[in-house]
């Protein structure tokens, strides 16, 4: 590379860092809950990139919490064990045998991979499930689905203790029931929303495999209020798998999260783009009462 080109690259890097300063100051001390899972996980390289972003967030004073899923890994192990998956209205029925597999995969495999990836990038991380210190206590979301839980109690002091120690919590969405002998599988988005609400987080970032919420013309809507989301669901603009994601985001915002963002987790450095640039990186949902600087159009 020519010296002139190298200088140009260095200048561009320095300018990017300088432009990020107001956002670094804005989020210093903030709590950010990141839902990581599905296609956003990718392979080893994608996991390392995500972990590096999370470590950088912690390094500049953000308190991140990672809540993860692991559906593809659960499907693989169920198939290997010969456990048939049954569905009701498109949702997996989680019987006792299935929930045991879910717990093994999420807490014993996926959780530790993410923890190790963060530590490999120089961070400090501890893996938890919703069972630890009664982080999440659930009831059955729908009796027809078996052990699929809906959080009714969220005890987040253990997460605050980890923040104080400079440690990044990584949470598997498996929880106890009102009967402590029960184990529930919790949808990862639902778990992230409940934890973000209990922490009164500054941001809930839901990483998915689409760029954000689209309008009727197929364009990404960068900013939405809860009322606008409800209207778009009612008229069919928001449909299918996007509905539960936006409903989770709206519920979190209504319960005290400053803003929730649905963004494409396959995009390199998606979380950093969302937090530390003027443009952001997805569809942000926040109350109309929240006063923040509008985003620039992309």
Mean pLDDT of the chain: 88
3-state helix, strand, coil in the chain (%, to 5): 45, 20, 30
The answer to the question of residue 133 being in a domain is: yes
pLDDT tens, 104-130?
A: 999 999 999 999 999 999 999 999 999
For CA atoms 122, 273, 38, 136, give the dihedral sign.
positive
Domain count, the chain: 1
The answer to the question of residue 291 being in a domain is: no
The answer to the question of residue 293 being in a domain is: no
The pLDDT-based confidence of 13 (bands split at 50, 70, 90) is low
The answer to the question of residue 167 being in a domain is: yes
For residue 22, the model assigns a pLDDT of 77
Instruction: Residue 175: give its domain's CATH number.
Output: 3.40.1160.10
pLDDT tens, 183-213?
A: 999 999 999 999 999 999 999 999 988 889 9
The answer to the question of residue 176 being in a domain is: yes
The answer to the question of residue 10 being in a domain is: no
Which residue segment(s) compose the domain that 84 sits in? 43-49+66-187
The answer to the question of residue 228 being in a domain is: no
The answer to the question of residue 253 being in a domain is: no
**Which range has highest mean pLDDT (87-96, 193-202, 288-297)?**
193-202
Q: In what order do the strands lie in the sheet with 168-172?
A: 125-129, 168-172, 63-68, 31-36, 203-208, 259-264, 282-285, 223-224
């Amino acid at each position: 590379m020519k010296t002139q080109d190298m200088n140009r690259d260095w200048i561009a890097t320095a300018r990017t860092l300088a432009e990020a300063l107001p956002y670094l100051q804005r989020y210093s001390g903030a709590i950010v809950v990141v839902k990581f899972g599905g296609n956003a996980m990718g392979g080893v390289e994608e996991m390392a990139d995500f972990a590096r972003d999370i470590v950088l967030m912690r390094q500049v004073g953000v308190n991140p919490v990672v809540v993860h899923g692991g559906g593809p890994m659960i499907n693989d192990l169920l198939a290997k064990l010969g456990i048939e998956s049954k569905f009701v209205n498109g949702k997996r029925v989680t019987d006792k045998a299935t929930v045991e597999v879910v717990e093994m995969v999420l807490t014993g495999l996926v959780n530790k991979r993410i923890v190790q990836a963060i530590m490999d990038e120089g961070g400090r991380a501890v893996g938890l499930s919703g069972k630890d210190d009664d982080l999440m206590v659930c009831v059955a979301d729908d009796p027809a689905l078996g052990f699929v839980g809906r959080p009714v109690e969220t005890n987040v002091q253990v997460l605050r203790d980890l923040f104080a120690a400079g440690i990044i919590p990584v949470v598997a969405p498996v929880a106890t029931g009102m009967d402590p002998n029960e184990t529930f599988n919790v949808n990862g988005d639902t778990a992230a929303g409940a934890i973000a609400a209990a922490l009164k987080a500054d941001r809930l970032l839901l990483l998915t495999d689409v760029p954000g919420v689209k309008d009727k013309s197929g364009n990404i809507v960068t900013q939405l209020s809860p009322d606008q989301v409800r209207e778009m669901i009612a008229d069919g603009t928001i449909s299918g798998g996007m509905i539960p994601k936006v409903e989770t985001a709206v519920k979190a915002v209504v319960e005290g999260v400053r803003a929730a963002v649905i963004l494409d987790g396959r995009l390199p450095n998606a979380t950093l783009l969302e937090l530390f640039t003027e443009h952001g990186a997805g569809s942000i949902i926040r109350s109309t009462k929240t006063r923040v600087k509008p985003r620039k159009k992309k």
